[in-house]
Structures are given as C-alpha cells and as structure tokens.
Amino acid sequence: MGMKAKELVTRAGLDVNALISELNSAYCDEWLAYYQYWIGAKVAEGKMAHLVANELTEHAGEELEHAEKLAKRIIELGGTPAISPDLWLKESTCGFFAPKDPNALTLLKQNIQSERCAIEVYDKLLHMVQDKDPVTEHLVREILEDELEHEQDLEDLQCSCLGSDKKGCAK
Ligand code: FE
Ligand code: FE
Ligand code: MG
C-alpha cells in the first residue's frame, strides 16, 4: 500500500473502500474475459474461425494486461485483488459466457456482449473517479479505450463473417 495514494484519494472525497471494491469487480471481469476469449479461440469452428481465433487470442492478452493494471492500483490503494478464482464469478459484473457453441459467429456475438458490458463498467468507474483520482482516471481511460476498440474489432469481424455491409450487421 502507498500511504500517500490512499491519502490523496480520501482527501479528494472518494470512499477508498468503495473504489477498491469497484476496481476488484472489474479485476474479476478481466480474468473471466481473459479466459472466455482464450478458450473461445481454442474451440472456434466454422466460417473464418481462424481469423476470429487470432483476434480473440490478441484480446485475451489485452484483458490480462487490464487485470495486471487493476491489481497494481488495488494494491497501491491498500486493497487485495481477488485472490481466488471462485471470487471471479461471484464479484464480476459481466459474468462468463462459456463457448458451448463453438461456432465462430456465436462466439463473436457473446464476446461483443461482454465488451459492451465492460464498456459500461469502465464508464461507470470513470464517472466515479474523474477529477478526483487522476491515477485511476488515467488507468480507466486507457482500459476503456481498449474495450471500445475490442467491441469495434469484433463487430467488424461479425460483418465479415456475415458477408454483408456494415450498415446491416453492426447490431
Ligand atoms: Fe478488459
Ligand atoms: Fe475487452
Ligand atoms: Mg483487436
């Protein structure tokens, strides 16, 4: 824990425990997203499965980086990142979609839904910390930017898989 980290956040009027709890929930989301994309990439089948798998593998790596950044900030603020996987589902906001149907298009659909949930999570966090905690704000902006890019990447892939123009398939 950084004594000053906690002090600055508290002085800015933030409830540090509430902030840690939101960061921890996002941390759990990231681990679930990591595994959802990682395993999705392994089992993907069907049209353009290879392209979808490559994108999902790349995204999985980025979700793990998000978890890394969140863990660092949680510890800095005096908290403990979820130390056991059984907490991931319990404390996550976005949950987990098991790729029971390995069809690449189904995976894309599920994962787009997860990205949209993540975007909402980080937008909420951003509103909580903006103009109060510049360090967390910076971190959340960085992650939000990635999640918006993820959503768009998957939407574009969905369009390619469907073989239609953008207008008709980005839903
Ligand atoms: Fe993420
Ligand atoms: Fe993402
Ligand atoms: Mg990408």
Mind listing the pLDDT tens digit for each residue in 103-132? Answer: 999 999 999 999 999 999 999 999 999 999
Return the ligand number nearest the Cα of 28. 1
Q: For the whole model, what pTM was predicted?
A: 0.94
Sign of torsion over alpha carbons 70, 148, 96, 43: negative
Distance 17 CA to ligand 3 centre (A): 33
Does 170 score more than 80 pLDDT? no
Distance 164 CA to ligand 2 centre (A): 24
Distance 150 CA to ligand 2 centre (A): 5
Residue 101's pLDDT is 96
Q: Helix (H, G, I), strand (E, B), or coil: what is residue 83?
A: coil
Does 149 score more than 80 pLDDT? yes
User: Distance between CA 55 and CA 49 in Å, rounded?
Assistant: 10
Residue 156's pLDDT is 93
Return the ligand number nearest the Cα of 65. 1
Mean pLDDT, residues 34-45 taken together? 97
Distance 74 CA to ligand 2 centre (A): 20
Domains in the chain (CATH in brackets) are 3-162 (1.20.1260.10)
Residue 128's pLDDT is 97
- For 125-148, letters b (16+ CB in 10 Å) and e give bbebbeeebeebbebbeebbebbb
Return the ligand number nearest the Cα of 147. 2
pLDDT range class, residue 169, cuts 50, 70, 90: low
User: Distance between CA 140 and CA 100 in Å, rounded?
Assistant: 31
The angle formed by the CA atoms of residues 116, 88 and 83, to the nearest 5 degrees, is 135
Residue 2's pLDDT is 82
Return the ligand number nearest the Cα of 37. 2
Question: What's CA 142's distance to the chain center, in Å?
Answer: 11
% of the chain exceeding 90 in pLDDT: 89
